[in-house]
């Protein structure tokens, strides 16, 4: 922008309370009391049941029960089961402990009940700071926005991420990067969100290799968590584009793992949109410390030793054409017009693990 140009934009700040720092999980009970809650339901996946039990002991008289059956893509059937348990336990609040699976379940419950949520992320998913819910029913994943979905409190305690294996840390971080990348060329992009996006990309690009190489590096994990918070905030502030639509289709229809799907698809979606979003590509490249956004993102994925092919994470080759067809239905806005044949070709490259190409 030149000196004589003016700007026009809209920025909506999400009214979430953020507590950031090592050891701050100890403040859960205080936050529940501040929200005037008396009986909290703890949510987790089966793998994090032990951590959920520790939080339950910490809550004492504020503990109302635990539901430890959260799974990927927030199936409506699981939400309905959790809702019945919540009501039977007469809980008045939700404590979601984990990554996107648990956070998604908490959001789905809050959408149906309007109960306050306190979230303790253990991954870099970023959905904890958005008013967006993606849920799956009959093999189709849909999204919706509502103020009721946004958690009231998010506690970023880096100690809770120490058990996240390096491989999952890498794909979770790449998932977070996708939020910032698409925020930079979003239809409703604005300077504030773009600053957060660039800083989020920069923080994750420098921290994720350290986390993978030295999983017990608390400073690196804290830096990654900081980047993930910024990227998630971008996701909650502006609309997303082709990359997120593709990942919703692949996850909801083929039950692919969420973060690895984002990881595989991100460089390919960048390549598709690069010709139509040159300014965003320059910002991304600069934040990655490279001269090309697409090559830089693909090189980061390679450095982190993440999956590079959809076929390696469970995608059937026969599903490529169907996926391209579904992407075209109720399509998200995108800087480059969506062309089914071009999208199918991109998905075919991603399925085979080929180098991204415009």
Per-residue pLDDT tens digits for 180-203? 999 999 999 999 999 999 999 999
More confident residue, 320 or 140: 320
CA distances from 137 to 1, 112, 192, 314 (A): 45, 16, 35, 20
**Res. 125: pLDDT tops 90:** no
**Res. 281: pLDDT tops 70:** yes
Q: 204-217 in b/e burial notation, b at 16+ Cβ within 10 A?
A: bbbbbbebbeebeb
pLDDT band at residue 204 using 50, 70 and 90 as cut-offs: very high
In the chain, the domains with their CATH numbers are: 17-161 (3.40.50.1970), 166-352 (1.20.1090.10)
Average pLDDT, the chain: 95
Measured from the Cβ of residue 247, the count of other Cβ atoms closer than 10 Å reads: 25
Mean pLDDT of 105-110: 98
Condensed to tens digits (0 to 9), the pLDDT of residues 208-259 reads: 999 999 999 999 999 999 999 999 999 989 999 999 999 999 998 999 999 9
**Res. 2: pLDDT tops 70:** no
> What's the length of the chain?
358
Nearest Cα neighbor of 263 from 321, 307, 312 is 307
Of 118-127, 263-272, 284-293, 301-310, minimum mean pLDDT range: 118-127
Distance CA 315, CA 51 (A): 32
pLDDT band at residue 3 using 50, 70 and 90 as cut-offs: low
pTM of the model: 0.91
- Beta bridge partner(s), residue 17: 153
Distance CA 227, CA 298 (A): 19
Residue 292, phi then psi, degrees to nearest 5 = -145, 120
Helix (H) or strand (E) holding 135: strand 132-137
Is residue 197 within 8 Å of residue 180, measured between CB atoms? yes
Mean pLDDT of 319-339: 96
- Beta bridge partner(s), residue 118: 95, 153
Is residue 128 within 8 Å of residue 175, measured between CB atoms? no
pLDDT band at residue 283 using 50, 70 and 90 as cut-offs: very high
**Res. 60: pLDDT tops 80:** yes
Q: Residues of the chain with pLDDT > 70: what percent? A: 99
């Amino acid at each position: 922008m030149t000196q004589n140009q003016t700007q026009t934009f809209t920025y909506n700040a999400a009214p979430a309370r953020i507590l950031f720092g090592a050891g701050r999980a100890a403040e859960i009970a205080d936050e529940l009391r501040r929200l005037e809650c008396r009986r909290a339901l703890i949510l987790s996946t089966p793998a994090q049941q032990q951590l959920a039990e520790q939080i339950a002991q910490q809550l004492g008289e504020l503990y109302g029960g635990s539901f430890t059956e959260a799974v990927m893509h927030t199936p409506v059937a699981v939400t309905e089961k959790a809702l019945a348990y919540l009501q039977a336990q007469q809980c008045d609040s939700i404590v979601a402990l984990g990554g996107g699976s648990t956070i998604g379940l908490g959001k789905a419950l809050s959408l149906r009940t309007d109960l306050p949520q306190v979230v303790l992320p253990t991954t870099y998913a970023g959905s904890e700071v958005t008013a967006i819910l993606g849920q799956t029913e009959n093999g189709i994943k849909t999204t919706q926005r509502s103020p009721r979905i946004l958690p009231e409190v998010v506690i970023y305690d880096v100690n809770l991420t120490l058990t996240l294996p390096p491989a999952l840390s890498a794909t979770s971080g790449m998932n977070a990067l996708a939020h910032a990348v698409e925020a930079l060329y979003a239809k409703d992009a604005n300077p504030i969100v773009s600053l957060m996006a660039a800083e989020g990309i920069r923080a994750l690009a420098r921290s994720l290799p350290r986390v993978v190489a030295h999983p017990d590096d608390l400073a690196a994990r804290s830096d990654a968590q900081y980047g993930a918070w910024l990227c998630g905030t971008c996701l909650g502030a502006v609309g997303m584009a082709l990359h997120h639509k593709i990942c919703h289709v692949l996850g909801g229809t083929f039950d692919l793992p969420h973060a690895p799907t984002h990881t595989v698809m991100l460089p390919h979606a960048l390549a598709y949109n690069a010709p139509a979003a040159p300014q965003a590509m320059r910002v991304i490249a600069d934040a990655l410390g490279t001269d090309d956004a697409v090559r830089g993102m693909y090189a980061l994925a390679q450095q982190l030793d993440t999956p590079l092919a959809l076929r390696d994470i469970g995608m059937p080759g026969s599903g490529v054409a169907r996926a391209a067809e579904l992407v075209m239905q109720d399509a998200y806005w995108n800087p480059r017009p969506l062309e089914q044949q071009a999208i199918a070709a991109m998905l075919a490259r991603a399925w085979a693990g080929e180098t991204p190409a415009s």
